[in-house]
Amino acid sequence: QVRLVESGGGLVQTGGSLGLSCAASGNIFSLNAMGWYRQAPGKQRELVAAIMRDGNTNYADSVKGRFTISRDNAKSTAVLQMNSLKPEDTAVYYCWVPRDGYVYWGQGTQVTVSS
């Protein structure tokens, strides 16, 4: 069992910044991948960014150069720093952790970017 708690969502204007945090607890020994997905109304959930324990990262093309994912392995926490936000970034953001053949999701946090 892995529990994920997210924080940091909110409302910002176009061009603003937000930081999202995901803290994992439970069966978290040597977690490999951690990341963030997002889902906008009427759209499928999509990968935003992922990071491996060794620091290797993967980003959606739409956020490259604007978002940065990082992690603190000792704290089992992943952070998504979002800069130069656009209205199309508006979505519910979910922390994502695959573990032992199962995918764990955070509760979701709303990010809204106003024009």
CB atoms closer than 10 angstroms to residue 56: 9
Look at residue 61 and give its three-state secondary structure: helix
Per-residue pLDDT tens for 30-48? 789 999 999 999 999 999 9
Per-residue pLDDT tens for 69-86? 999 878 789 999 999 999
Cα 42 to Cα 22, 88, 99, 110: the distances in Å are: 25, 13, 28, 15
**Amino acid 44: pLDDT:** 96
Instruction: Report d(CA 95, CA 18) in Å as an integer.
Output: 15
**Amino acid 60: pLDDT:** 98
Radius of gyration in angstroms for the set of CA atoms belonging to the chain, rounded to a whole number: 13
The answer to whether 95 touches 22, Cβ cutoff 8 Å, is yes
